[in-house]
Amino acid sequence: MKELDELVKVREQIIPRSQLKRLAKRNNYAGLGFLAFHFFLICGTGWLVHQALGSWWIVPAVFLHGMILATLFAPLHETSHGTAFRTIWLNEAVLWLCALIYIFPPKWFRYHHAFHHTYTQIRRRDNAMVLPRPITLMQYLVYVSGLMVWRRNLSYLFNHAMGRIDPAEHEYAPVDQHPMLVREARVMVAIYAGIAALAVAYGSWAPVIYWLLPRIVGESYARWIRVAEHTGCEEGSDPTANTRTTLTNPFIRTLWWNMPYHAEHHLCAFVPFHALGKFHEQVYDKVLVSNGGYFKVHLDLFRRFIRLKHGAQSN
Amino acid sequence: MEQPGKWHRAVSVSEIEDDDVVGVTVGEQGEHEVAVYKLGGKCYATADRCTHQTARLSDGLVIDDFIECPLHQGRFHIPTGKARSAPVSIALQTYPTKVEDGAVYVLVEDIQFD
Ligand code: FES
């Protein structure tokens, strides 16, 4: 496979296998630590929502709680790679927990995401290509709103639960795995129906206030972060040019399980999240790095919208 | 019962680190890509190409009894070749091995070329 050969060739030029093997060592402690921090924050912002009930403070509290819930995408992503924990069952249990809260079918995501790693930034092949050029402000705003993602994920969830697999999914999900995709969607829908039934039985709005509403409004934050990973990078299979690492502060890095070191992650996805910082130290001058943080990446994109607009007017 | 195929010298035992893997080609014309492993002093061999999207497993990581694919982290059980975690679902071909004079030999069926 051409894309794969290029990835391996570039990786071998950048870092020897002996070094990668050291970086790739797995443990359970780092993942448990990050997870504890994550759930501590979720409880904290959930408590803020509770305190704000009945006042206007509920608006920022729900947004904040939603942002923290949205960062659950990070452990979901890491566990989908199987690199969050050394122990397979622990990895799978956390994958399921995060997927249930995040409302994302976990195994489906694993197949979908694997395809993205094979065909990163290859137009019409990369199934997670965010905002290919030319990008307009409108496309950017629609993407960052997260609405399209909700539409896509919910349609997969309910279609799978009804036993329907879109023909386009055959490209990345092997046919022998389709029954499993249907099963997982049915389990998820059954759990959600159970939660809804309990909420109705007890007359409780808690699932809406502490989970659904924050999840919906918080998705924008996840999308905003994800724009920085590949958007505006070169198209093609060169991992040193098609993915961007965004340097940011330790709090954001921890919250996103070191996903901001995204170029390193794509260069070698078997290096676990907790070793990406060290990996970055070894390859930072060979991959694409934005050192101005997320705002700088987005600002650069805005400059492009303006250039595009002027270009269009002058034509 | 004698297994079909022919024994081919694959690699020196000393060239494989403990709990690691190396990729070799064997066969009359080097037509078989084989990954040779050393686990707890014992040698095993499987096909070197992942059954998911053909990544080279000898670039991957040995974790306990499993080989983890470097591309999407699917895992195979080395002694049996069984697919253990998604996205892999099809088992790997395994090959019998023996160690003689400090070298690992792999039993493969030769392909007839015209
Ligand atoms: S190529 Fe091996 S898991 Fe995908």
For residue A302, tell me if it sits in a domain.
Answer: yes
Complex ipTM value: 0.82
Question: Which range marks the domain in which residue A284 is found?
Answer: 2-307
| Residue A304 Cα to ligand 1 middle (Å) | 36
**Measured from the CB, is residue A114 less than 6 Å from ligand 1?**
yes
Q: How do beta strands A244-246 and A288-290 pair?
A: parallel
Q: Is residue A133 part of a domain?
A: yes
Q: Taking Cα atoms as reference points, which of A195, A220, A190, A191 lies closest to residue A206? A: A195
Residues of chain A contacting B83 with CB distance shorter than 8 Å: none
**Is the Cβ pair A118, B85 closer than 8 Å?**
no
Say what the pLDDT of residue B111 is. Answer: 65
Q: A47, A24 in Cβ contact below 8 A?
A: no
**Cis ω for the linkage preceding A134 (within 30 of 0):** yes
Return the amino acid letter for A266: H
Stretches where chain B sits below pLDDT 50 are none
Question: pLDDT at position A1, please?
Answer: 72
Q: Is the pTM for the entire model greater than 0.80?
A: yes
CB B53 within 8 A of CB B72: yes
pLDDT of residue A315: 34
Q: What is the pLDDT of residue A159?
A: 96
Rg of chain A (C-alpha set): 20
Q: Report how far residue A253's alpha carbon sits from residue A76's, in angstroms, rounded to the nearest whole number.
A: 15
Closest CB to A26: pick one of B52, B53, B63.
B63
**Residues for chain B: how many in total?**
114
User: Residue B113's pLDDT is what?
Assistant: 56
CB neighbours of B92 closer than 8 A, spacing ≥ 6? B46, B47, B50, B51, B57, B76, B81, B82, B83
B87, exposed or middle or buried, with CB in 10 Å at 0-12, 13-18, 19+?
buried
CB-count burial class (<10 Å; 0-12, 13-18, 19+) for A141: exposed
Determine the 3-state secondary structure of B32 from DSSP.
strand
Residue A314, in any domain of the structure: no
Residue A313: the pLDDT is: 45
Q: How far apart are CA B44 and CA A65, in angstroms?
A: 50
pLDDT at B102: 92
Cα separation of A256 and A261, whole Å? 10
B74 C-alpha to center of ligand 1: Å?
A: 6
Say how many residues make up chain A. Answer: 315
Determine the angle formed by the axes of helices A73-80 and A106-118, rounding to 10 degrees: 70
Superfamily of segment(s) B7-106: Rieske [2Fe-2S] iron-sulphur domain (2.102.10.10)
- Split into its structural domains, chain A has a count of 1
Strand partners, B6: B108
CA of B57 to the centre of ligand 1 (A): 9
- Parse chain B into domains and list their residue ranges: 7-106
Ligand 1 binding pocket mutation candidate from B33, B69, B89 (most atoms within 8 A of CB): B69
Q: Quick one: pLDDT at residue A224?
A: 95
| Helices vs. strands in chain B: H and E counts, helices first | 0, 11
User: Is A313 contained in some domain?
Assistant: no
Nearest-CA neighbor of A211 among A65, A74, A94? A65
User: Is A315 part of a structural domain of the chain?
Assistant: no
b/e sequence A220-258, b meaning 16+ C-beta within 10 Å: bbbbbbbbbbbbbbebebbbbbbbbbbbbeeeebbbbbb
Per residue of chain A (315 residues), what is the pLDDT tens digit? 777 778 888 888 899 888 998 999 999 999 999 999 999 999 999 999 999 999 999 999 999 999 999 999 999 999 999 999 999 899 999 999 999 999 999 999 999 999 999 999 988 888 888 887 777 888 889 999 998 889 889 999 999 999 999 998 898 998 999 999 999 999 999 999 999 999 999 999 999 999 999 999 999 999 999 999 999 899 988 999 999 999 999 999 999 999 999 999 999 999 999 999 999 999 999 999 999 899 999 998 878 776 766 655 433
DSSP string, B60-71: SEEETTEEE-TT
Residue B53 beta carbon below 6 angstroms from any ligand 1 atom = yes
- Per-residue pLDDT tens for A208-250? 999 999 999 999 999 999 999 999 899 988 999 999 999 999 9
pLDDT at B1: 57
Over residues A279-310, the pLDDT tens digits come to: 999 999 999 999 989 999 999 887 877 676 66
Whether ligand 1 lies within 6 angstroms of the CB of B23 is answered as no
Name the residue among A17, A174, A270 with its Cβ closest to that of B68.
Answer: A270
The answer, yes or no, to whether any atom of ligand 1 lies below 6 A from the CB of B52, is: yes
Nearest to B85 among A4, A82, A118 (CB): A82
| Contact (Cβ atoms closer than 8 angstroms) between residue A121 and residue A230 | yes
Chain A contact set for B74 (CB, 8 A): 82
Dist CA A199 CA A205 (whole Å): 7
**Is A312 within a domain?**
no
